[in-house]
Structures are given as structure tokens and as C-alpha cells.
Amino acid sequence: PALHRQRHQFVIDFVSRNKPRKVVDLGCSECSLLSKLRFRREIELLVGVDINGAKVKKHMHRLAPISTEYLQPSFDQLHIELYQGSVTQKDTRLRGFDLVTSIELIEHLTLADVECFSEVVFGYMTPVAAIVSTPNSEFNPLFPGLASGFRHRDHKFEWTRAEFRSWALKVCLKFGYEVEFSGVGEAPSGQQEQVGFCSQIGVFHRLGGRDGFSMLLDEDSEDVFSYTLLHSI
Ligand code: SAM
């Protein structure tokens, strides 16, 4: 299957195992992952955020209830909210989630903004778990015609496994998380060890889990509303 499908399937498998009730997808783009997650009955609140509000609006019809859902009372449980906003800015409405997903988003940020992203996600939103995916630059030599440069012209960087690991471990130390490294998109046989996965993925868990220490109560008690609500379903 296509790589973007594999990334989304990775998230769906995680949701099946961990049963988060409140999930937010950062950089939700064309609402593609959200349109799959809405069928997971364990989810009660599903939120999408993207800096490109026009793109979200253009595709959010994918999340409109389908007629049979009106007949199935169990779907009454699901609430969907879509916001225009930047992951470099805090918004009180995104605190206290069970799962934050950030699929192929961070490489679109400058390194200074990645620092803000880390603060916002792990220091302010403090989700129970977070899934962060980004290209693995060590895989790039396997793409024909990509001898130098990035996979997409809007990418500000592409990290090796060591670079991703170093960012992730710093985040863990600073904000009280642990991380497991994984990925999707395997290299041809024999080369997997050497180049790693096409997309590298970090799965973060807050230390202490659901009841773990969270900065929710102590600091930042002022409410901040920096995102614009585009739609609520
Ligand atoms: N997550 C999507 C998926 O799995 O289908 C793909 C993400 S796309 C490659 C990157 C997205 O990040 C774009 O929709 C872009 O508008 C968004 N983006 C870039 N900078 C952002 C920021 N600072 N805050 C929120 N979204 C941002």
C-alpha cells in the first residue's frame, strides 16, 4: 500500500490497541486521517488543526455524517472540531488529550519552530501519548533522482535516524515522556538495517501514563484561544 496509507494504518492500529477517547491530529491537511479515525468507536472527541484553513475547509465534507450514522445512536458520541491554527502556538482547547498525532508535519517547520512545537505539544498540551512521523533522510538514496535535496520543496529539513532520536530524547528528558522508535515503508531486502524505514515514527508516552504528572494544573492557568474554529460536527 501507498506510504501515506501505511502511516495512517500505523495510527489506526495504535488507536485499536490503546483506545484513546480524545484525539487531535496536527497538520490534518485534507482531513484524510480524520476521515478514517471517525469510524473508531472508542473516540469521543476528534480534533483537526492545520495552519491552512482553506485546505481544511475544502476537504472537511469528508467528515460530514453519512445518512446511516443518523440511525445509529452510538455515533452520537462522536464530536469533531476543526481549527485553523499553528502548532507553534498554544490553545487551551487542545490540552488534556489522550493522543496527539503529527504525521509528516515537523519537517515543514523551521528548526526554531520545531522547538515551539515541542513546547506546545509536550510542555503545554501534555497528551498521554503522541505519534510523530517525519521522513528518514537515510532512506533518500533509494529514491531515484533524489541524489540531493528533499522529498518535497516545502520541507525545511529531513532528519537521519540519529537526528530524530536526538530531538525525541531531548523532548522526553525535558517534558517527562518516554519514546519508542518505529517506522513504515521498508527498504528492499538486505538494506533495512542500513537505511531504516522510509518514514520514521516516534511513539511517545507520558511518564506515569494517564495519571502521570501533568503541568495542566500548576502553570499556564490563563486560558489562551489562538486557534479559529472552522467547523464543529
Ligand atoms: N498529516 C497529513 C497526512 O497524514 O495526510 C499530511 C501533512 S502535510 C504533508 C503538512 C501539513 O502541515 C500541511 O497541510 C500544512 O498546511 C501543515 N502545516 C505546516 N505548518 C504548520 C503549522 N505551523 N501549524 C499547523 N499546520 C501546519
pLDDT tens digits for range 5-51: 999 999 999 999 999 999 999 999 999 999 999 989 899 999 999 99
Please tell me the residue having the least CA distance from ligand 1 atom 19. 108
Quote the CA–CA distance of 225 and 53 in Å, as a whole number. Answer: 16
pLDDT above 60 (res 75): no
Q: What CATH number is attached to the domain comprising 36?
A: 3.40.50.150
Residue 75 or 146, more confident:
146
Residue 213 belongs to domain spanning: 3-232
Query: Sorting pLDDT into bands at 50, 70 and 90, what band is 162?
Result: very high
Q: Among 61-65, 117-121, 175-179, 200-204, whose mean pLDDT is lowest?
A: 61-65
Residue 231 has pLDDT above 80, yes or no: yes
Is the confidence at residue 156, as pLDDT, over 80? yes
Give the pLDDT confidence score for residue 101 in this predicted structure. 98
Residue percentage of the chain with pLDDT more than 90 = 77
Ligand 1: centre distance to CA 143 (Å) = 23
Out of 67-71, 168-172, 225-229, least confident range:
67-71
Residue 208 in grid coordinates: 506515569
Instruction: Decide whether any atom of ligand 1 lies within 6 Å of the 105 Cβ.
Output: yes
**Nearest C-alpha to atom 12 of ligand 1 is from which residue?**
27
Describe the strand order of the beta sheet including 177-184 as a list of residue ranges: 177-184, 199-206, 129-135, 99-103, 22-26, 45-50, 79-84, 228-232
Domain count, the chain: 1
- Three cell numbers at 1? 500500500
Q: Which atom of ligand 1 is nearest to the CA of 30?
A: 5
Q: How far apart are CA 92 and CA 173, in angstroms?
A: 24
pLDDT for 192-224, tens place per residue? 889 999 999 999 999 987 776 555 555 557 899
Question: Atom 15 of ligand 1 has which residue's CA nearest to it?
Answer: 27
Mutation probe of ligand 1 site: the residue of 50, 89, 121, 153 with most atoms within 8 A of C-beta: 50
Ligand 1: which atom is nearest the Cα of residue 103? 1
Looking from the CA of residue 25, the nearest atom of ligand 1 is 1
SS (H, E, C) 139-169: HHHHCCCCCCCCCCCCCCCCECHHHHHHHHH
